[in-house]
Amino acid sequence: MAYFHKQKTTQVFLRDATEIPLYALLLLGGAVSIDRVAGGVTIDNKDSVVNLKASSTIGILVNQLRRLLDAQLERCIEDGSILLTEHKNPIFDAVLALLAHDGLSE
């Protein structure tokens, strides 16, 4: 959940709170690490840590997709080309499908 303002009086109140889709958090939220012993995925950025109950396979696939996406974006920067969604690119198609449907089939 993302929020604009947090205030604590007798209770904690969040203002302008928005739920973040899970796959958006996995793909764009920070470094993803896998706990193979306890089973789960951890998203770690500079400000916070999020622990998720998920198969280690999810973490492995997300990390691989992020590496492929980073490599494709790096190529676009080096070439000076524009990223267009009209061109069939399996990496971008996979990312867009995950973000649009939050990992669920259409």
Q: Which of 106, 95, 105 is nearest to 26 (CA)?
A: 95
Q: What does the pLDDT look like over 61-73, one tens digit per residue?
A: 889 999 998 898 8
Give me the residues paired with residue 32 across strands.
43
Helix (H, G, I), strand (E, B) or coil at 84: coil
- Residue 5 phi/psi, 5-degree rounding, is -140, 140
Would the pLDDT of 17 be above 90? no
What is the distance between the alpha carbons of residues 2 and 11, in angstroms, rounded to a whole number? 18
pTM score, whole prediction: 0.71
What does the mean pLDDT of the chain come to? 84
pLDDT at 86: 63
What residue ranges do the domains of the chain occupy? 5-101
pLDDT digit string, tens, across residues 77-101: 888 877 666 667 888 888 888 888 8
Beta bridge partners of 18: 2
